[in-house]
Structure 1
Amino acid sequence: MNGAPGIPFPQDGPVVCVGETMAALAPTPHGPLDTAEDLRMSVAGAESNVAMYLADLGRDVSWLSALGDDAFGRRVRAAVAAAGVDVTGVRTDPQRPTGLLVKDPGRDRTRVHYYRSGSAASALGPEVLDDDRIRSATLVHLTGVTPALSPSCRDLVERALAAPPSPERPYAISFDVNHRPALWPDGTAATVLRDLADRADIVFVGLDEAQDLWGADLEPADVRRLLKGPRILVVKDGGRAAHALTETDGKMCTVPALPTDVVEPVGAGDAFAAGFLAGLLRGEDLRRALRLGHVTASSALRVTGDHGPLPNAATIAELLDLDDEDWPTGRRAAR
């Protein structure tokens, strides 16, 4: 049995997510960009994705960022706010534009084209951490996207992770490695992301990411040996399973993924992180937190955008309560 005892960390309370969100354009109907006649606009940002799913799961959550004084920025702000996220800490930059991404779905994978150089969010810096929302938070969520955007953004993340939890930094920090190769100069990501991840309290990384960054033969236990600092390390193995490894006993809690008809994989990792964090915040053990991560990720996989509707609360509760033999198919919940 891969279960693990409950972990009294982080404490229940407000969450703050910090990072860039862009306007996103994708072909509709779903298909290659070069033959598309219509594009659908949505929003895309790893940290705001986490924030929106946390709000869906009943958490008190704020998003801190910057947007341009333009139509894209107004669209992004409205969409994130409509999901129940506090956006009052998002500043408007009159000089810099809102970032933009365009999705190009292919037969095997979706290519993403970024237009974010010089964006409003790329000018974020350590001063963001002086916001009163962060001072009163129990958890702050960051990703490896932010330090790749600019020197000031990297300074922001470096300062956030400069010290362990203390009276001066009473909140926990979760960090999703979220490696985006196109944003990093060749040869720089591996060292920087390993150093940042090793200083966070909770870390998420895809097994494929870890293998690309730190060694092709790595297994989850090897990643734990590389990243000794986090209290909880979650290694996601695509559509197969997710593994949680703690600092206390070295044991690994593994929960298989739910079978899902995948429409678009982009955003599923953010959804998983939100579900797992929501589980921890409400006092679930690792097994149930991983299950909630999978349930939330499935919602993202079923839509072309990054944010899909969750099952109702009763269905989620039934899924979390399934016996281990029923969980891989969700059979009892489906009956």
Structure 2
Amino acid sequence: MAYPGRFAEQLIADRLDRVSLSFLADSLEIRRGGVAANIALGLARLGHSPVLVGAAGTDFAGYGEWLRAEGVDISAVHLSDTLHTARFVCTTDADQNQIATFYAGAMAEARRIGIPQVAARTGPFALVVVGPNDPEAMLRHTEECRHLGIPFAADPSQQLARLDREGARRLVDGARLLFTNEYEAALLTERTGWTENGILARTGTWIVTRGAEGVTLARAAREPLRLAAVPTRAATEPTGVGDAFRAGFLAGMLRGWPRARAARLGCALATVVLESVGPQEYALTADDLVRRIEDAYGPRAAREVGPALARMVRAPVGSVAG
């Protein structure tokens, strides 16, 4: 939903212990989403063959077929017999601030899914992204990856608020990649009780997204790599922007690109999604991505990715590739 005013104008500083507000929204749109599905779709559109692992409800059929047609393997999705698919109800104000409520629904059954069983059906994984999900499922999948020797990325996101110290440590320890935004980075040090250096000593690369300020990639005993964001032509709606960055970054990393090159692709895809309403409604072309990368990072950066993106970017469903 879109609220034309500003949330901040309705908040009274000395009354925040008793908030009772209603915002009259101008519009209501129901769109496909979900962190795992957003990332998987982005990877598919960039030429990969992602396997979506999660739990959905009996209302998932149409969405699932749409994802399958887009190139996402949905064979590992567990379907609940009784619960609806998770829903994120979000209101965005004129300053792009958001107030949201998340209904977990069938997500609670994700703990029934085993990575070994999925890998036995689909073949070995190059990487498992453990994103925000049922907390028990997140911890189970992390432990299974360690046991099987599968590289994994930890992306706790909103679920950091649900994890205690032991859970946060178990989720992060040994991750090849760790994704957070700025606020989550601070929360992660508080939750784990580890310093930033302590976290870096237990992970590979820690990627911190910073909105309009870009992204920082840190590794133990090395200078952090800082990249500016790709400028936006017209910011429209921020939902799914972080997922898009992850999809672009992972798409590059899985092809063996250097971290900086992969992060530039992530930033470009994030801006494409920022200019769209909904996390999956964007149109993607190689020429547009290359142009954005050149504008933000220069001709050399564009030349580094141009030929590869021409091969990677998947033609939209229903179109004919020339």
In structure 2, list runs of 5 or more residues that go unmatched: 8-21, 307-322
* 1:78 alignment partner, SS class: helix
**Structure 2: how far apart are the matches of 1:30 and 1:74?**
37
Pairwise CA distance, 1:280: 0.9
| Structure having the larger proportion of residues in strand | 1
In structure 1, the residue matched to 2:19 is: none
Alignment of 1:89-128 (within 5 A): 89-108=76-95, 109-116=97-104, 119-125=105-111, 127-128=113-114
Q: Are 1:236 and 1:242, in contact at CA under 8 Å, matched by a contact in 2?
A: yes
From 220, 228, 243, the equivalent of 1:256 is 228
Pairwise CA distance, 1:252: 2.0
Q: Specify whether residues 30 and 44 from structure 1 end up closer, same or farther in structure 2 by C-alpha distance, changes over 3 A only.
A: farther
- Is 1:49 aligned to residue 38 of structure 2? yes
* Deviating more after overlay: 310-319 vs 235-244: 310-319
In structure 2, the residue matched to 1:88 is: 75
What residue identity is the alignment partner of 1:120? A
Q: Are 1:268 and 1:298, in contact at CA under 8 Å, matched by a contact in 2?
A: yes
Pairwise CA distance, 1:159: 2.3
Q: Are 2:41 and 2:72, in contact at CA under 8 Å, matched by a contact in 1?
A: yes
Pairwise CA distance, 1:206: 1.1
Q: Are 2:230 and 2:293, in contact at CA under 8 Å, matched by a contact in 1?
A: no
Pairwise CA distance, 1:68: 1.5
In structure 1, the residue matched to 2:271 is: 298
Q: Are 1:101 and 1:112, in contact at CA under 8 Å, matched by a contact in 2?
A: yes
From 130, 147, 156, the equivalent of 2:140 is 156
* Deviating more after overlay: 268-277 vs 132-141: 132-141
What residue identity is the alignment partner of 1:175? A
* Deviating more after overlay: 253-262 vs 90-99: 90-99
**Structure 2: how far apart are the matches of 1:195 and 1:227?**
14
Q: Specify whether residues 310 and 199 from structure 1 end up closer, same or farther in structure 2 by C-alpha distance, changes over 3 A only.
A: farther
**Structure 2: how far apart are the matches of 1:308 and 1:245?**
31
What residue identity is the alignment partner of 1:193? A
**Structure 2: how far apart are the matches of 1:319 and 1:227?**
31
Alignment of 1:24-43 (within 5 A): 26=1, 34-36=23-25, 39-43=28-32
Pairwise CA distance, 1:292: 0.4
Q: Are 2:230 and 2:267, in contact at CA under 8 Å, matched by a contact in 1?
A: yes
* 1:125 alignment partner, SS class: helix
From 142, 147, 151, the equivalent of 1:172 is 151
Q: Specify whether residues 307 and 92 from structure 1 end up closer, same or farther in structure 2 by C-alpha distance, changes over 3 A only.
A: same
In structure 1, the residue matched to 2:61 is: 74
Q: Are 2:207 and 2:215, in contact at CA under 8 Å, matched by a contact in 1?
A: yes
Q: Which has the higher contact order (CA 8 A, sep 6+)?
A: 1
Same amino acid, percent of matched pairs? 24
| Count of residue pairs brought into register by the alignment | 281
* 1:61 alignment partner, SS class: coil
| Structure having the larger proportion of residues in helix | 2
Q: Specify whether residues 60 and 137 from structure 1 end up closer, same or farther in structure 2 by C-alpha distance, changes over 3 A only.
A: same
Pairwise CA distance, 1:55: 0.6
In structure 1, the residue matched to 2:11 is: none
- Is 1:307 aligned to residue 294 of structure 2? no
* 2:158 alignment partner, SS class: coil
Pairwise CA distance, 1:178: 1.0
Pairwise CA distance, 1:101: 2.2
From 168, 171, 178, the equivalent of 1:203 is 178
Pairwise CA distance, 1:61: 1.1
What's the TM-score once normalised by structure 1's chain length? 0.73
Q: 1:7-50 deviations in whole A, cap 9, x for unaligned?
A: xxxxxxxxxxxxxxxxxxx4599999843475322122111111
- Is 1:231 aligned to residue 217 of structure 2? no
**Structure 1: how far apart are the matches of 2:228 and 2:151?**
27
Q: Specify whether residues 315 and 303 from structure 1 end up closer, same or farther in structure 2 by C-alpha distance, changes over 3 A only.
A: closer
Q: 1:91-132 deviations in whole A, cap 9, x for unaligned?
A: 32212222222221223312111222xx22211226421213
From 197, 204, 217, the equivalent of 1:244 is 217
Q: Are 1:200 and 1:230, in contact at CA under 8 Å, matched by a contact in 2?
A: yes
**Structure 2: how far apart are the matches of 1:69 and 1:139?**
28
In structure 1, the residue matched to 2:126 is: 138
Aligned residues: CA RMSD: 3.2
Q: Are 1:77 and 1:87, in contact at CA under 8 Å, matched by a contact in 2?
A: yes
Q: Are 1:56 and 1:310, in contact at CA under 8 Å, matched by a contact in 2?
A: no
**Structure 1: how far apart are the matches of 2:79 and 2:271?**
33
Q: Specify whether residues 190 and 105 from structure 1 end up closer, same or farther in structure 2 by C-alpha distance, changes over 3 A only.
A: farther
